[in-house]
Amino acid sequence: MLISGYEDDPLVAGEDLLSRPGFWAAYLMWMGETADEDGEPDTGWFGADEADLDEAYEKLVDQERWPVFRIPFGGGHSVVVVNRNFPDDQGTEYFVSHPDWGRRHGHLATLDGHQAGPGLSWQELSHIANTTCDPNSPGVHDPYARLLLLLPALGDEDLPGDAEEAVSAALVRAAGTPVAEAARVAARLLLDHPLWEPARWEIPGPSPLSGGEPSFDGILQCDGSMSPRCGLRLARGITVAQSERLARALGTWPAR
């Protein structure tokens, strides 16, 4: 499987890994490391044990087969999660793609030694997770799994009151986590991201060159200084019409 910009890399579809017992522990447990009131993260929060975790983690960081997770959403767009497994530069990339954009990607977040984020507001994450797409299109379609896959890119200081409940429900549904445990994990995942602080998200004000229309075509902008979306278009180089379609797909701009 090839993605534009990764033609020389050993990418493989990773969606089958989601059903492995230790996958969610391998993918998410590191996010609980800043929580201190209850000790260290526990694989049991994710319905797994240490053996499950080790086996799934080996698959995630395999240098010869880089797992890719595709999350199709509105208008033919996809969020793509690439496990970039160079021997000395392992990390995870989150970006938005569309067949009409060619080699252009909308950079959301990077998890590595030079991290960049946050990449998604809660509004966008929730909208993407719950978007219904053609079930025959390749990628992840379960809304609970979609939410959890995108959670590491989240950073939003204005979380709704039901955000913790939504993540708890996703963990119960996708990872088989006991409800009481999931609620504690959810709070950490949402509020104690170890790589960046929660940020504010808003649509920028009118551009003097656009006749009073909002700039960035209705796409939210992040005020986090580490975010790829701080003061920049989500997908640079695409047309205004393409940017507006992306905003509608993200749920931040009404259809005309």
Structural domain spans, the chain: 11-196
Read off the pLDDT of residues 229-254 as tens digits, 9 standing for 90 and up.
998 889 888 998 999 999 999 998 76
The per-residue b/e assignment along 209-247, b for 16 or more CB within 10 angstroms, e otherwise, is eeeeeebbbbbbbbebebbbbeeebbbeebeeebbbbbb
Q: Looking at residue 106, what is its pLDDT?
A: 94
What end-to-end distance do the CA atoms of the chain give, in Å? 35
Q: Looking at residue 206, what is its pLDDT?
A: 60
Scanning the structure block, which residue is given the tokens 């880089």? 66
Number of Cβ atoms within 10 Å of the Cβ of 85 = 20
Write out the two tokens for 118.
Answer: 């946050």
Residues in the chain with pLDDT values less than 50: 35-36, 208-210, 212-214, 255-256
Asked if 179 and 221 touch (Cβ cutoff 8 Å), the reply is no
| Cα–Cα distance measured from residue 135 to residue 215, given in angstroms and rounded to the nearest whole number | 34
Asked if 126 and 237 touch (Cβ cutoff 8 Å), the reply is no
Q: Looking at residue 190, what is its pLDDT?
A: 72
Q: Looking at residue 215, what is its pLDDT?
A: 52
| Cα–Cα distance measured from residue 62 to residue 26, given in angstroms and rounded to the nearest whole number | 13
| Cα–Cα distance measured from residue 48 to residue 29, given in angstroms and rounded to the nearest whole number | 11
Q: Looking at residue 214, what is its pLDDT?
A: 47
Q: Looking at residue 13, what is its pLDDT?
A: 95
